[in-house]
């Protein structure tokens, strides 16, 4: 075989391996990005349906508060939620438009909500406006409601939970947001059950009150566990500093040095053996091992803290590092400048992702503040039960011993029109959320599988490319030696033909 053909064959084998590995890596990384996108999308949808449920519970709770007290101030949240829930449901329909079953479920939820407003809320509110309270027991109950102790406590709890959610959002902690929303929902369930019992006097209305108390205890317990497992900000910052030092070291002592020597080989001032020696001396390999350990530590911190955003940045950093090495290896093997494009782009992507991860770590929530806020919520919850819920429930039980002028309102409520609609509404919301949570589990499993496969392909590709390049180089050197010998004069004569 001619020398020219041998050289072409050697380089072609290397390029084919590189192209195949690059294609497979690109496809897996593309699949990973898509999986992460759908995981984030599903979290967003679950958050939106939780918010819709919270708005609906606010409307029901405040409507019942008005029915008990007759004070228009209790309808403030009701009127706000009345306009907001339609916007949120419209956005939800847009977000799940590719899933006809979920869209149909949202249509059912919208229709049930409209039915509750027209058949329960509006008639009950209108009737309550016409009711005058005359009995002593009813007056006493109304005094307890108008006193406002319970509302002030609830408002303070809402303020704390809103701030917690805001801080979890900045931190990128979707799990923390979800647990805080569960605390809010549990509190609303307690308020709904308490007010439902106050209005109707039926013990079954206390079921959400009892359930909400248990769910709040569980959610606060989960929040405490989450805060206890929050990532080590100082440790992560130290690892980020070390990671930046290592990547700069690889860039300066390995990447640029080998690229420079490859150019010198092309120019004829250095030999291929010089290049092979510096490539195989192990500096780059040891540096990459240290980089991988730092990445694994940082990723374990964010995984432990259920921080999806932090995990995503780690994946982006790993990809940027691999892009740099892939581009640099491609240039070393072929000597073609176009192989340095991913190398140069990888440096930019690495800096950007490191800066984003530093910013995320810097903005992480304050563990001490979060722990204090959880303790404050527990204290306020107990205070609300002691000062508001329990006295009102006791007053309602006393009031039930005597006829009241709320009979008309009670008669309307005892038809259970609103309750039946709300039960059906909750069932459909639960089915919608269950489907999204099922999709979330599937998509998170796909994302984890994609990460594992991508790393395997990338690492395997690098090893195969290096091995093929080494064998190709040795084969070409041997072929040249066999055909032209070791005489420089003979080689020069051949090159001038």
Is the whole-model pTM more than 0.85? no
For the stretch 451-466, pLDDT in tens is 566 667 667 766 776 6
- Residues near 161 by Cβ (< 8 Å), separated by ≥ 6? 180, 183, 184, 377
CB 197 within 8 A of CB 392: no
pLDDT confidence bin for 106, thresholds 50/70/90: confident
Please give the structure tokens belonging to residue 202: 């039926």
Please give the structure tokens belonging to residue 352: 């950007």
Q: How far apart are CA 241 and CA 346, in angstroms?
A: 18
Domain boundaries, the chain: 136-230+372-403, 231-364
CB 458 within 8 A of CB 20: no
Residue with tokens 């609300």: 384
Q: What percent of the chain has pLDDT over 90?
A: 0
CA atoms within 13 A on the CB side of 20: 12
Residue with more model confidence, 417 or 31: 417
CB 167 within 8 A of CB 130: no
What is the Rg, in whole angstroms, of the alpha carbon atoms belonging to the chain? 33
DSSP 8-state code for residue 253: I
Rounded mean pLDDT, 286-310: 81
pLDDT at 321 over 60: yes
Q: Count of CB atoms within 10 A of residue 114's CB?
A: 12
107: left (phi over 0), alpha (psi -120 to 50) or beta: alpha
CB 206 within 8 A of CB 190: no
For the stretch 22-74, pLDDT in tens is 666 556 555 655 656 667 767 878 888 888 888 888 888 888 888 777 777 87
- Look over the chain and give the mean of its residue pLDDT values, rounded to a whole number: 77
For the stretch 203-253, pLDDT in tens is 888 898 889 889 888 988 888 887 877 776 777 788 888 888 888 888 888
Range 136-230+372-403 classified under CATH 1.20.1440: yes
Burial letters for 219-245: b for 16+ Cβ neighbours within 10 Å, e otherwise?
A: bbebbbebbeebbbbeebeebbeebee
């Amino acid at each position: 075989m001619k020398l020219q053909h041998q050289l072409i064959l050697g380089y072609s084998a290397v390029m084919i391996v590189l192209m195949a590995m690059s294609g497979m890596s690109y496809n897996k990384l593309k699949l990973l990005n898509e999986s992460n996108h759908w995981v984030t999308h599903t979290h967003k949808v679950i958050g939106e349906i939780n918010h819709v449920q919270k708005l609906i519970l606010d409307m029901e709770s405040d409507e019942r508060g008005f029915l008990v007290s007759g004070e228009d101030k209790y309808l403030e949240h009701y009127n706000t939620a009345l306009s907001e829930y339609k916007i949120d449901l419209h956005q939800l329909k847009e977000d799940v438009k590719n899933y006809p079953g979920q869209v149909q479920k949202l249509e059912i939820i919208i229709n049930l909500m409209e039915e509750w407003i027209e058949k329960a809320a509006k008639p009950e509110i209108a009737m309550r406006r016409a009711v005058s309270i005359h009995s002593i027991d009813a007056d006493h109950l109304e005094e307890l409601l108008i006193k406002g102790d319970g509302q002030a406590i609830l408002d303070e709890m809402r303020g704390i939970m809103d701030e917690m959610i805001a801080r979890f959002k900045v931190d990128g902690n979707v799990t923390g947001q979800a647990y805080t929303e569960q605390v809010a929902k549990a509190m609303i369930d307690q308020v709904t059950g308490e007010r439902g019992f106050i209005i109707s006097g039926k013990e079954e209305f206390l079921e959400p009150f009892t359930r909400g108390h248990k769910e709040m205890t569980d959610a606060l317990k989960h929040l405490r566990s989450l805060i206890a497992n929050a990532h080590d900000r100082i440790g992560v910052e130290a690892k980020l500093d070390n990671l930046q030092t290592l990547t700069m070291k690889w860039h300066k002592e390995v990447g640029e040095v080998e690229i420079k020597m490859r150019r010198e080989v092309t120019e004829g001032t250095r030999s291929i053996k010089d290049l092979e020696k510096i490539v195989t001396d192990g500096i780059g390999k040891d540096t990459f091992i240290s980089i991988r350990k730092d990445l694994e530590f940082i990723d374990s911190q964010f995984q432990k803290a259920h921080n999806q955003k932090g995990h995503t940045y780690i994946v982006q950093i790993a990809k940027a590092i691999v892009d740099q090495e892939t581009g640099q290896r491609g240039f070393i093997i072929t000597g073609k400048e176009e192989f340095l494009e991913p190398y140069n782009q990888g440096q930019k992507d690495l800096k950007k992702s490191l800066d984003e991860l530093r910013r995320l770590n810097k903005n992480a929530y304050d563990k001490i503040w979060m722990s204090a806020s959880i303790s404050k919520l527990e204290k306020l919850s107990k205070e609300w039960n002691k000062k508001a819920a329990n006295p009102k429930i006791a007053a309602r039980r006393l009031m039930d011993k005597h006829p009241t002028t709320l009979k008309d309102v009670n008669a309307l409520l005892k038809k259970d029109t609103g309750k039946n609609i709300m039960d059906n509404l909750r069932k459909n919301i639960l089915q919608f959320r269950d489907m999204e949570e099922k999709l979330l589990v599937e998509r998170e499993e796909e994302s984890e599988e994609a990460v594992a496969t991508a790393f395997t392909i990338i690492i395997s590709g690098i090893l195969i490319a290096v091995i093929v390049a080494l064998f190709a180089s040795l084969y070409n050197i041997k072929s040249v030696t066999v055909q032209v010998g070791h005489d420089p004069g003979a080689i020069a004569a051949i090159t001038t033909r």
